[in-house]
Amino acid sequence: MTASDAATLFVVCTPIGNLADISQRALEVLRSVDALACEDTRHSRRIFDHYGLDRPPVLLACHEHNEKAAAQRILGLLRDGRSVALVSDAGAPGVNDPGYRVITAAIEAEIPVQVIPGPSAVITALLCSGLSTASFVFKGFPPRKSAQRRSLLEAEAERPETLIFFESPHRLAGLLADAAAVLGDRPAAVCLELTKLHERVARGGLAELAARFAEQKTKGEATVVIAGQSRKEAQEKKRARAREDRKARQKDRGT
Compute the average pLDDT of residues 204-210. 98
Question: Where does the chain have alpha helices with state H?
Answer: 24-32, 41-50, 67-79, 100-108, 121-129, 146-156, 172-183, 206-214, 231-253
Q: Are residues 27 and 102 in the same domain?
A: yes
pLDDT for 231 equals: 86
pLDDT for 71 equals: 95
Q: What is the CATH number of the domain that holds 188?
A: 3.30.950.10
* Domain annotation covers residue 241: no
Q: Are residues 50 and 125 in the same domain?
A: no
Q: Crossing angle, helix 172-183 and helix 206-214, to 10 degrees?
A: 150
Residue type, 230: S
pLDDT for 218 equals: 87
pLDDT for 1 equals: 47
Query: Strands 222-226, 162-167: parallel, antiparallel or unpaired by DSSP?
Result: antiparallel
Domain's final residue, options 98, 116, 134? 116
* Domain annotation covers residue 255: no
Q: State what percent of residues in the chain have pLDDT above 90.
A: 82
* Domain annotation covers residue 79: yes
Q: Are residues 149 and 94 in the same domain?
A: no
Host H or E run for residue 166: strand 162-167
**Count of residues making up the chain:** 255
pLDDT for 254 equals: 67
Whether pLDDT at 2 is above 60: no
Q: Are residues 105 and 194 in the same domain?
A: no
Whether pLDDT at 4 is above 60: no
Q: Are residues 95 and 127 in the same domain?
A: no
* Domain annotation covers residue 240: no
Q: What is the pLDDT of residues 161-196, one digit of tens each?
A: 999 999 999 999 999 999 999 999 999 999 999 999
pLDDT for 243 equals: 78
Q: State what percent of residues in the chain have pLDDT above 70.
A: 96
pLDDT for 216 equals: 86
Q: Are residues 200 and 103 in the same domain?
A: no
Q: Are residues 101 and 149 in the same domain?
A: no
Q: What is the pLDDT of residues 52-98, one digit of tens each?
A: 999 999 999 999 899 999 999 999 999 999 999 999 999 999 998 89
Q: Are residues 95 and 133 in the same domain?
A: no
Q: Between 236 and 207, where is the model more confident?
A: 207
Q: Are residues 9 and 109 in the same domain?
A: yes
pLDDT for 8 equals: 97
Domain's final residue, options 116, 151, 171? 116
pLDDT for 77 equals: 96
Binned at pLDDT 50, 70 and 90, residue 6 comes out as: low
Domain interval for residue 226: 121-230
Compute the average pLDDT of residues 226-247. 82
Q: Between 254 and 199, where is the model more confident?
A: 199
Residue type, 211: A
Q: Are residues 92 and 12 in the same domain?
A: yes
Q: Are residues 171 and 185 in the same domain?
A: yes
* Domain annotation covers residue 30: yes
Q: What is the pLDDT of residues 118-163, one digit of tens each?
A: 999 999 999 999 999 999 999 999 999 999 999 999 999 999 999 9
CA geometry: angle at 86 spanning 129 and 104, to 5°?
Answer: 90
* Domain annotation covers residue 50: yes
The residues, any chain, with a CB within 8 Å of residue 102's CB and separated by 6 or more, are 9, 37, 62, 67, 70, 71, 74, 86, 93, 94
Q: Whole-angstrom Cα distance, residue 255 to residue 67?
A: 63
Domain's final residue, options 116, 151, 173? 116
Domain count, the chain: 2
* Domain annotation covers residue 248: no
Q: Whole-angstrom Cα distance, residue 199 to residue 201?
A: 7
* Domain annotation covers residue 235: no
Binned at pLDDT 50, 70 and 90, residue 255 comes out as: low
Q: Are residues 144 and 90 in the same domain?
A: no
Q: What is the CATH number of the domain that holds 58?
A: 3.40.1010.10
- Full-model pTM: 0.89
Whether pLDDT at 230 is above 70: yes
Strand partners, 250: none
| Mean per-residue pLDDT of the chain | 92
